[in-house]
Structure 1
Amino acid sequence: MLNLMDPSTYMGGSNSQKDRLADLQEFGSNPGDLNAKIYIPAGLPAGAPLVVVLHGSDQTAAEYDVGAGWSEIADLYRVALLLPEQRRVNNLMLGFNWFEPDDSNRGAGEPLSIRHMVEQVVSDHGIDRQRIFITGLSSGGAMTSVMLATYPETFAGGAIIAGLPYGSADTLPAALLRMKGHGSPTEQQLETRLRNATSHEGPWPILSVWHGSDDQTVDASNAAAILGQWRALHGLDQKPSSTHTVNGYSRRVWSDAGDRELIEEFSITGMDHGTPLKTQGKNSFGSSGDYMLEVNISSTFHIADFWGLIAT
């Protein structure tokens, strides 16, 4: 079992906010033995998008929702949410087991549990299969890498916050080393592992990558490894198509020949391990707390915008 965070417990948000989520009781087989929470805004129309939200270690699904503000986005922009949740019987620190071979391959363990949850919500609520997205923090970010690799046909896009690339570790000692930025496979090895995760030949999900430059838990070199892995998959150059500043932070973008944005990266200068938040003023969502960090930019809002979920 691996904790991607310190052993303190996130306690942000009010009880009324935490109670917004409902249980998804039945969703097919559950080989990963996970819990599942959902948030379906009242009057959600058929053909709405779905966002899968994966919490970090030492967090519950509800606590992460309060911190990141995804259910606020869901209410405003008519989006369904699925929030898979780890159980202590699987991991004492409530982290997703992204590095375990039994929980990082298609058709098994936690990835298959999450895939069955997605299918249930799609069936229950008439979700648009072309607009399913996934995001996560820390161990949830690493499991987002797993889901995008093992079920790429399911997702139109993903967002990895303070996470690690797919295939970077398959043992606990290796995972600990990768978190500290040591011994990572080469870019070519990571691309090969991603391609070999399925027989999928594209199109591939678009990707948003967020990392604090001063992350003391998951070294920022992991963001560079994720970018290299996915640039290779999309056939993109190392040099970004454009670079500009958003709320004081660097945003780099890689686009295809038709100027469609395929990959974006936000490097949050001076930020430690956590989800970047803006909790006051325009385009503000969520509530600050442990690993939910007020830095004057809402990753939740900008990720949703990158995916095309924000109404103009």
Structure 2
Amino acid sequence: MRPLSDTLMRMTAFREAGAAIGSRAGSDRLSELTGFGGNPGGLRALAYVPPGLPKGAPLVVVLHGCTQSAAEYDLGSGWSAMADAAGFAVLFPEQARANNFNLCFNWFEPGDVRRGKGEAASIRQMIEAMIGQHGLDRRRVYITGLSAGGAMASVMLATYPEVFAGGAVIAGLPYGVAASVPEAFDAMRGHGGPGEAALPAKVRKASQHKGPWPSISIWHGSADHTVSPSNGEAVLSQWRGVHDLDPDPSHTEVAAGHTRRVWRDAKGRALLEHNLVAGMGHGVPLKPDGSAGGGVSGAYMLDVGVASTRDIAASWGLIHEAEAAVAPRPVEAPRAVRKPAPRKPAQAAPVLPNVSAIGKVIEDALRTAGLMK
């Protein structure tokens, strides 16, 4: 556990970053999805469905990072542009300030990361609504996310593995490595948490599912000082154990500082891949070349010459590898308007018995910073 001063310093930095939320530009391509269920996590749902999308199309679920909105993440990552080019629907769950001041998905809150509970259940309800309303193929549902969104993608892949054909965790963390804000900060730095041998069991115990398991793509920058690259290796260990794969990869390639390791099954299918981008910090690797899926550089959207959105879509079979660079398309003019997000019903703060003086100081500070319910 890190010192109290370290935790408070990090909370302050996150709060200051969150103070500017709402002033940034984003895509104006998304529409509100309503009536998707009880929404126990109090999340907002936005979506993009290309005009004339046929029945039986795939669905990609995209989870933004802290301090971001769905529209900002879409503009930067280029997922809706990729949907136009390749023919699939996109669902963008969006966090509410009432749940987390910095708009982080609560990947560390026990009440939000269990099957049938909180934010995880809300996202599952959204997926079912999208499939039902648009006649999508439930055998081809995929999920990706950045940072806290990447960690929440890990949550969804663990708690609802039967729902997803594949997932991509970008600068995220494994499932089940934190159950509080201080533990979350420790995990982000690569400290504490369960050992490598215990990580696969976290996934196996999260549901009654016995397989087959979704394929997993992991992306991390070697110079990420927000979420340690060791977390990418931990996600790799977690799912390598779940898939019962050998420690050594089936294939390794290095190109312009991008190292890709792939693990295949006996039939040659890629079940797991780990992508490490040399020198990249915390964010989504992009190649803003004007093509669909190339993205637009900005905060946490990093021009490193690697089009991760296109590469992820190709790894899921949504586009062919040879078609990863598609015809250029104009980038929509950004806008800065955001609709107010729904709020969770007010709840009384839980009564914590036998709380020590130092524990109360931490909890009060976390609530003041908006990082604890």
* Fold agreement, TM-score > 0.5: yes
Asked if the contact 2:25/2:72 (under 8 Å) is kept, the reply is no
How far did residue 25 of structure 1 move? 1.2
1:208 equivalent in structure 2: 217
Cα offsets for 1:18-76 (capped at 9, x unmatched) = 21100001101100000000000000000000000000000000000000000010000
Distance between the aligned counterparts of 1:54 and 1:12, measured in 2?
A: 20
2:151 equivalent in structure 1: 142
Q: Which moved more, 1:200-209 or 1:237-246?
A: 237-246
**1:261-280 matches, cutoff 5 A:** 261-280=270-289
Distance between the aligned counterparts of 2:38 and 2:254, measured in 1?
A: 45
Residue 76 of structure 2 aligns to a residue whose secondary structure is helix
Distance between the aligned counterparts of 2:188 and 2:164, measured in 1?
A: 26
2:59 equivalent in structure 1: 50
Answer yes or no: is 1:185 the counterpart of 2:177: no
2:267 equivalent in structure 1: 258
Answer yes or no: is 1:7 the counterpart of 2:21: no
TM-score by length of 1: 0.95
Asked if the contact 1:111/1:147 (under 8 Å) is kept, the reply is yes
How far did residue 187 of structure 1 move? 1.5
2:171 equivalent in structure 1: 162
Distance between the aligned counterparts of 2:41 and 2:290, measured in 1?
A: 40
Cα offsets for 1:278-312 (capped at 9, x unmatched) = 00266752110010000000110000000000145
Cα offsets for 1:156-204 (capped at 9, x unmatched) = 0000000000001111111110101111311221111111000100000
Unaligned stretches of 5+ residues in structure 1: none
1:296 equivalent in structure 2: 305
Answer yes or no: is 1:101 the counterpart of 2:110: yes
Residues 237 and 283 of structure 1: is their aligned pair in 2 closer, same or farther, counting only changes over 3 Å?
Answer: farther
Identity of aligned residues (%): 55
Cα offsets for 1:114-145 (capped at 9, x unmatched) = 00000000000010011000000000000000
Distance between the aligned counterparts of 1:284 and 1:12, measured in 2?
A: 24
Unaligned stretches of 5+ residues in structure 2: 1-6, 324-373
**1:30-179 matches, cutoff 5 A:** 30-179=39-188
How far did residue 245 of structure 1 move? 2.4
TM-score by length of 2: 0.80
Amino acid of the residue matched to residue 19 of structure 1? Answer: D
Distance between the aligned counterparts of 2:129 and 2:143, measured in 1?
A: 16
Asked if the contact 2:112/2:119 (under 8 Å) is kept, the reply is yes
- CA RMSD after TM alignment: 2.0
How far did residue 258 of structure 1 move? 1.0
Q: Which moved more, 1:286-295 or 1:246-255?
A: 246-255
Asked if the contact 2:77/2:293 (under 8 Å) is kept, the reply is no
Amino acid of the residue matched to residue 144 of structure 1? Answer: A
Asked if the contact 1:276/1:298 (under 8 Å) is kept, the reply is yes
Amino acid of the residue matched to residue 65 of structure 2? Answer: G
How far did residue 11 of structure 1 move? 8.3
Answer yes or no: is 1:221 the counterpart of 2:238: no
Distance between the aligned counterparts of 1:289 and 1:262, measured in 2?
A: 31
Distance between the aligned counterparts of 2:260 and 2:200, measured in 1?
A: 23
Amino acid of the residue matched to residue 156 of structure 1? Answer: A
Asked if the contact 2:175/2:202 (under 8 Å) is kept, the reply is yes
Residues 282 and 94 of structure 1: is their aligned pair in 2 closer, same or farther, counting only changes over 3 Å?
Answer: closer
Residues 124 and 282 of structure 1: is their aligned pair in 2 closer, same or farther, counting only changes over 3 Å?
Answer: closer
Cα offsets for 1:210-266 (capped at 9, x unmatched) = 000010100000001000000000010111111012454111000001111001111
Distance between the aligned counterparts of 1:19 and 1:119, measured in 2?
A: 24
Q: Which moved more, 1:35-44 or 1:175-184?
A: 175-184
Asked if the contact 1:12/1:287 (under 8 Å) is kept, the reply is no
Asked if the contact 1:247/1:297 (under 8 Å) is kept, the reply is no
Distance between the aligned counterparts of 1:130 and 1:81, measured in 2?
A: 15
Answer yes or no: is 1:195 the counterpart of 2:235: no
Residue 97 of structure 1 aligns to a residue whose secondary structure is coil
Distance between the aligned counterparts of 1:14 and 1:198, measured in 2?
A: 38
Bigger Rg over Cα? 2
Distance between the aligned counterparts of 1:283 and 1:112, measured in 2?
A: 31
Amino acid of the residue matched to residue 56 of structure 2? Answer: G
Residues 90 and 12 of structure 1: is their aligned pair in 2 closer, same or farther, counting only changes over 3 Å?
Answer: closer
Distance between the aligned counterparts of 1:129 and 1:247, measured in 2?
A: 37
Q: Which runs of 4+ in 1 moved over 2 A?
A: 1-6, 8-15, 245-248, 281-284
